[in-house]
A and B are shown apart, each in its own frame.
Chain A
Amino acid sequence: MRFMVCLKPVPEPGTVRVDPETHTLKRESATLILNPADRYALEAAVELKEKTGAEVVAVMMGPPNAAPLLKEAYACGADEVYLLSDRAFAGADTLATSYVLSLAAQKLGAFDLIFCGKVSIDGETAQVGPELAAWLDWPSVIWVKELSPVEGGFEVVRVTDEGEERLVAKTPILFTIEPESNDPRPPSVKRLLEMLEKDVPTLTAEDLGADPARLGLEGSPTRVLDVFTPTYEGKKELLEGAAEEVVEKLVSILKERGLI
C-alpha cells in the first residue's frame, strides 16, 4: 500500500506579514512550522505503515524555505518527501491548492489513502482535504480518530456533532485526522542526520503538468476585497489599582447586575 500525507507550512504565530495589495500571507517573511494538526495526520499514516508495511509519501505545497519541514516529516517516518513549489502557486486559495495536491497525488503513484490534517492554524478553513478528494473523485471522511485495515478497505471511527460513528470505507479514500487521536512522535535524530546534507526534491508546475489557469491567484475563485479592523465602542468601565480593590469592585458590579 501507498499513502500520501498532505502537509502545510504555516507561519509560527506572531511572525507573519501580509501583502497589503492582495491580502495574502507573505509566507517568505515568516518563520514556518508544520501545521500542528498535520502532525496527527502524519503520525496516523506512519503508525498505519508500521502495522501494514505501506510506504508513506509526504507532500507539501510551499515556498523553498519550507523544505526543512519536509526533512522533519522524513525524520518523523515518511519514506519519501516532495516540496511542491513554484512562483505560479503563490496566492492560491483552497481550490487552487487542492488542485496542485491532486496533481501530485496522480503523479507520485497509485495511492490507497491520503491523510490530511483537520484544519490549519492560519487559514482555518478545513477545506483542502475534502476539496482534494473531489478533484480526484475520491470519497473522503473527515475527523477520523481511529482506523484499522479490514478486507477491501478500512474501518474508521469519525467524530460527529452528535458523538461518533463507526463505518467501513472502501479505498482509495481520503481521511482528515482528528487532532489528539494519536501522539505525534518527535523527529528521529538518525533520520535528520541522514537528511542534513541532502536536498528535498521539488516539483514545479511544469513537473506536475499543471494548467496555468488553475494555479495561484489566477486559479483562485475567491478574492479578498478588503480588510478592516473592527472598532470597539468605549462603553467600558476600567478597574485599576490593587488587586484586592479591583476584585471587590468587580464583585459589587456582578452583584448589582444580579449575576452572582
Chain B
Amino acid sequence: MVVDYFFSPEQKLIVEVADRIGREYIAPYALKWDEEEVCDPRPLRALALADLFGLFIPKEYGGLGFGTFENCLVIETLSKYCAGVSTTFAASGLGAYPILIAGSKEQKEKYLPQIASGKKLCAFALTEPQAGSDAAAIKTTARKEGDYYVLNGIKQWITNGGVADIYTVIALTDPKKGARGASAFIVRKGDPGFVIGKKEKKMGLRASTTTELFFSNCRIPKDRLLGREGMGFIIAMKTLDLSRPGVGAQAVGLAQGALQVSLNHARQRIQFGQPVYNFQAVSHTFAEMAMRIEAARALVYSAARYIDSGAKGISAASAMAKAFASDMAMWVTERAVQMMGGFGYMRDFPVEKMMRDAKCLQIYEGTNEIQRNVIARELPKFVKPLEIG
C-alpha cells in the first residue's frame, strides 16, 4: 500500500491474521489447487479456527461484530494469495447476509453461530439458467403446503454448491407477481428433494466450487422462510448491495498480488544487460498499475465504510466499488502477464492464473454492465443540477 489508511489496532490485527493464513495455508498450494480444481478444506479450517467466518456476524450470535470494511480487508488480503479461496470465503458471507438482513431472532440464533464458527459454510442461490442479469426472470417456485414449502426448479452457477451446508435460495411463492412474488428461504444440505448438480469447469477461481442446484419437490418446514412472502427480491438486492464491495476488495487484493509478483520479476529479470524494470515502457506500466490499484482500494474502502455508517442509499457506491475495482484488476493482471513476458504466460507462475481469476470478478455478483445500470439508475438521486454563470 502506498497510502496509510489508518487502520485501528483491531483492524491491523485482523489483517495480520488473514495475511498469515494467506502465507502459510494458501500461497504454497494456490497453483496446485488451480491446476487440480480443488476446493481444499485446509485453508477453510484455518479461517474457521481464526474466527474469520464470524467477522461481520454480531457478537450475540457468536461472531466478532465487525462490519463490511473489516470483511473487505480480509477478502482483499486472502485474494493476494488466491482469489479462488477468497471466493469460497466471501460467498459464504454472501449466503449469510439474507439471514442477517431478514432472519427472525430464532433463525439467527439457530444458524448464525454455526456460520460464525465456520462449522457450516453458506451459499447464496439466485441465478438460474434463464435468469442471469435478468434476475427477475427466475422460475424456481416455492408452493406452500400446510406447514411446508415445496420447492421446484434449477439454480445455476452457485458458488459453494455442495461445499456449503446452508443455502439461501430465492424462489417464487407467487409466480403471477414476478419479482414481487419472490421469497427467500433457507435450504439445508440433505433436505429431501435437494440435489447438488454437476461441478462447473471454470476458466478461473478454480479453487472454489461452482455447481447447479436442483429442487424437485424439495420439502422444507415453513419456518425456513426468511422475512415475509414477497420480500425475496428485496432481500436479494440488499444482500448484493452489502456484498459487492467484497468483490471490489477481492479485485484489489488480486491486483496487488499480481503487482507484487510481476514487479519483483521485472527487477530481477536481466535483458540487454540490465533489469527490465529500468526500461521506461516497463516502469511506467508499473506506475500505472500501482495508481489504479490505489484508486480502486480507496473507492472500495470508502464504499465499505459508507455502508458501515448505516447509510441507506448504498447501491451506487457499492456498484461503483465492484465495477471499478474489477475492471482495474482485469487490466492490472493482464499487464502483469505482459510485464513478465513468457514467464507470465507459463502456469509455473501465478500471474496467468490471476488474470483468469480476475475475469470472473467482472462477471459474477452482477456483471459490470449491470453495475453501470445500477449506478446510472441511482445517479439522479446524487447528482444535483449545477448552474454556473
Contact = CB atoms under 8 A, between A and B. Distances in A.
Given A186-B17, A186-B21, A193 B42 contact: no
Contact of A190 (B9, B21, B51): B51
Contacts, number: 38
A185 B49 CA distance: 7
B10 A186 contact: no
Contacts of B24: 186
B61 to A, nearest CB: 13
B51 A189 contact: yes
Contacts of B298: none
Given A186-B21, A187-B17, A193 B10 contact: yes
A189 B14 contact: yes
B21 A192 contact: no
Interface residues of B, number: 18
Contacts of B21: 186
Interface in B32-47: 42, 45-46
A184 to B, nearest CB: 9
Given A196-B9, A196-B10, A189 B17 contact: yes
Contacts of A148: none
Contacts of B284: none
Contacts of A188: 49-51
A226 interface: no
Interface string A180-213: 0001011111101100100000000000000000
A185 B52 CA distance: 13
A196 B10 CA distance: 8
Given A196-B9, A196-B13, A189 B64 contact: yes
Interface string A158-191: 0000000000000000000000000101111110
Interface in B41-68: 42, 45-46, 49-52, 55, 64
A145 B47 CA distance: 25
Contacts of B14: 189
Given A185-B46, A186-B24, A186-B50, A192 B64 contact: no
B20 interface: yes
| Chain B interface helix/strand/loop/mixed | helix
B50 A183 contact: no
Residue from B10, B25, B49 with most neighbouring chain A CB atoms (10 Å): B49
Contact of B64 (A183, A185, A190): A190
A196 B9 CA distance: 8
A185 B55 CA distance: 18
Nearest to A196: B9
A93 B364 CA distance: 58
A193 B16 CA distance: 12
Contact of A189 (B9, B42, B50): B50
Contact of A186 (B13, B46, B55, B64): B46
A186 B18 CA distance: 9
A187 B9 contact: no
Interface string A131-152: 0000000000000000000000
A189 B46 contact: no
Contacts of B49: 185-186, 188
Contacts of B9: 196
B46 A193 contact: no
A189 to B, nearest CB: 5
B44 to A, nearest CB: 12
B42 A186 contact: no
Contacts of B52: 189
A190 B116 CA distance: 12
Contacts of A187: 17, 20, 50
A190 B42 CA distance: 20
Nearest to B47: A186
A85 B52 CA distance: 33
Given A183-B42, A186-B21, A186-B24, A193 B13 contact: yes
Nearest to B10: A193
Contacts of B45: 183, 185
Given A183-B45, A186-B17, 5 more contacts: A185-B45, A186-B20, A186-B46, A189-B50, A193-B13
10 contacts: A185-B45, A185-B49, A186-B17, A187-B50, A188-B50, A188-B51, A189-B51, A190-B64, A192-B17, A196-B10
Interface of A: 183, 185-190, 192-193, 196
Interface of B: 9-10, 13-14, 17, 20-21, 24-25, 42, 45-46, 49-52, 55, 64
